[in-house]
Amino acid sequence: MPTGDGDDLPLLPALADRGIEASMVAWDEPGVDWSAFDLTVIRATWNYTSRREEFLDWVASVPRLHNPAAVVLPNTDKAYLGALAEAGLPVVPTQLVPPGTEPKLPEYGEFVLKPSVGAGSRGVGRFDASLPDAHQQAREHAQRLHAAGRTVLVQPYLDAVDTAGETALIFFDGTFSHAIRKGAMLEPDARHRIDGEALYLEERISARLPSAAELAVAERVFAHANAELAENLLYARIDLLPTPEGPVVVELELVEPSLFLGFADGAADRLADAISARLRR
């Protein structure tokens, strides 16, 4: 978004206070010499999900990009959840259904279908297996996503989110900064078109102090994501859902996550310090 989405507005004065000149430039603006910048930080690139290959070409071409291309490229597809699960991390159970294959739908309870490349609940559907025609409607939803070229994720709907909400933990330069609570967004029997006009659903956000279990899971996930890099990720957001067995990862956001800088004192300063440290290096 050429002027940002509002989430990063506190960052601009914090950078200015450190003598850093910053410009908001759309990734797809023609004629930009990205090598002229000392550092490029990805924010609010909400349209990349419909132009992923073009976006990935851009990511690979930009020097001094943060987060770096090595983590951004795979993180644009939520199929990475499978790799997290294989690494022994607690992840919401996820079935990947590429185009040309049929999903194996749960026989009981509520479940969710979503595109593996997507953002902001676009293309997400919630279904209740106990209702008549739920499986047929879910298959039709999957067919629409497949027709758009998307791999489909099938996940159980974890209903504890209805009361406890989702917890997002934000890290800057390898250190936990703050957390927020997101209220449940998917209404029962919800269907969201992948080509809808809205970029994302309106979120109900509040500050939250994470539990010790949530922080422990988030730190494990961050360490895994960061393991092969020469330096810490500039930013990371780890979204967790509650279950009776403990928190599970629903998303590891390393591309363009909202960082909710306005929901924690000093958050913008902490991110500005991390950017400043990279510029000095």
Q: Which residues are catalytic, by number?
A: 204, 237, 253
> Side-chain half-sphere of 202: how many Cα atoms within 13 Å?
0
Give the type of residue at 252: L
If you ran DSSP here, which 8-state letter would residue 117 be given?
A: S
Whose CA is closest to 258, among 16, 10, 83? 10
Please count the other Cβ atoms lying within 10 Å of the Cβ belonging to residue 162: 12
- Give the angle subtended at the CA of 220 by the CAs of 219 and 224, to the nearest 5°: 115
Q: What are phi and psi of 220, to 5 degrees?
A: -65, -45
Please count the other Cβ atoms lying within 10 Å of the Cβ belonging to residue 100: 6
Burial 246-264 (b: 16+ CB within 10 A, else e): ebbbbbbbbbbbbbbbbbb
Do the beta carbons of residue 221 and residue 249 sit within 8 Å? Answer: yes
